[in-house]
Amino acid sequence: MKLQHIELSELKVSPVNVRKRGAGEDLGELIASIRSLGVIQPLLVRPNSEGYEVVAGQRRLLACQALQEETGGVAPLPCALLENGDDATALEASLAENVARLPMDEIDQYEAFAVLTVQGRSIADIAGQFGVTELLVKRRLAIAALIPQILSVYRDGEIEAETMQQLTLATAKQQKAWFRLFKNPKEHAPTGRWLKAWLFGAEIPVSSAIFPPERYTGNIVSDLFGEERYFDDAEKFWKLQTEAVIHRQAAYLEEGWSNVVIMEIGAAFYQYDKVKRGKAKGGAVYISCAGNGEIGFHEGWLDAKEAARREKAIERSANAGKQDEKEAARQNRS
């Protein structure tokens, strides 16, 4: 059996799942728990031609699908991949028994895991003991980065789990600044997704870089809850990203493209005012740069007005050629 995280879209209920009726009923408490703590007990799955089928964990799957509709996004689910010869019933019972030993509060889970790490247990050992993924253990241990005041207001129910999770990405200085806002009745402390924007400005994920990340000399912040990493210094990022874009522009020109347009940062690339044209027909390459650092390469496009101008020029040239041919023929007859 192997534990890994799998995208919700790749999971479907197995036809052999024993729960045929009532699986979708009374999901409210389960949805609330997953919204706060995430999926703790892994689903048992088998690979198939379309992804993975859920052998055990149908209600967890349905609850996550409901959350997907509610929020528009759900993190990949922890899953245990069954191998040939695995007894699904026995494995599910074993996982349930292990997870039952796990404290249900995130802070309690962190404290339990922290004690084990002090005792020299590895993340893999802890995950195996409780039947959870290593990522869940890492997420809980990230809570160690929080200042006591934030832990206290979370325990008291004054902030949501999402806000607490986002604050694990912040420095101690940022956490203290946020807490001052939170406690000031005249101020508004950002929460949820707005908090990440407050912490990082325009978020620049590492996945946006078209340069080798090892060239970046700043810090890279790991988001264990969103499974993404971010550059912490926009200026350093854009210096390297711009150099990489210019290098790609030169490469396109060497390949024979007549024009390579680097668009302004934040400017969107639209097709409605352009027409498709190949390299041989004078098409250009447009390089778009989103505010989050994502680069788009749009090959073989031409501004519609420029395309119309060129077509008229070709038409005029063709007509002029026909007139020349007619004049030459007239002179030959005279």
Please give the model's pTM, rounded to 2 decimal places: 0.46
- Domain range for 261 is 235-307
Question: Domain ends where: 100, 115, 143?
Answer: 100
The per-residue pLDDT for range 98-144, each reduced to its tens digit, is 555 555 567 777 877 787 777 777 888 888 777 777 888 888 888 87
The per-residue pLDDT for range 264-322, each reduced to its tens digit, is 877 778 776 788 899 998 999 999 987 778 899 999 998 888 888 888 877 877 776 66
Answer whether residue 173 is part of any domain: no
Answer whether residue 79 is part of any domain: yes
Question: Domain ends where: 49, 71, 100?
Answer: 100
- Residue identified by tokens 């668009």 is 263
Question: Domain ends where: 74, 100, 126?
Answer: 100
Dihedral sign for Cα 160, 109, 167, 181, please.
positive
Closest CA to 47 of 3, 19, 21, 82: 82
pLDDT for the residue numbered 180: 92
Answer whether residue 88 is part of any domain: yes
Answer whether residue 54 is part of any domain: yes
* Distances, alpha carbon 225 to alpha carbons 53, 172, 196, in Å: 24, 19, 12
Answer whether residue 261 is part of any domain: yes
Q: How big is the chain by its Cα radius of gyration, in Å?
A: 29
Answer whether residue 204 is part of any domain: no
- Residue identified by tokens 């390297």 is 240
Answer whether residue 207 is part of any domain: no
Based on the structure, what is the number of domains in the chain? 2
Identify the CATH number of the domain in which residue 65 sits.
Answer: 3.90.1530.10
Answer whether residue 187 is part of any domain: no
pLDDT for the residue numbered 64: 92
More confident residue, 196 or 74: 74
